[in-house]
Amino acid sequence: MELDLLDVQFDLRNIKPRELEEAFEDPFSVRFLPDNERGDGATRYYSLGRTIADRYLFFSFWTDGKTTRVVAAREMSVTEQKFYDRKYAEYR
């Protein structure tokens, strides 16, 4: 799957493309579907993932099965990180 980072709405100097790939491929990542329909018909997924360097990231993306486009990315909030850690503990 190809990660598309063209025309992103966040600073790629703060969150590196490699970190997004690592968080996306995190085997313990938590992914959600939005609970409401968008007007343009696109479905956005939300994900909580961790990098190899132990950086916790929240990001939103859409995919068509071949290409994944990251729409937004940021550090997880404290509440999101606690949720991720609880889910991670369930899998271990």
User: Which sequence spans correspond to the domains of the chain?
Assistant: 2-91
- Asked if pLDDT for residue 6 goes beyond 90, the answer is no
Contact 70, 60 (CB under 8 A): yes
pLDDT digits (tens, 9 = 90+) for 69-84: 888 889 999 999 999 9
Nearest to 57 by CA among 16, 92, 91: 16
pTM, to two decimals:
0.82
Contact 57, 49 (CB under 8 A): yes
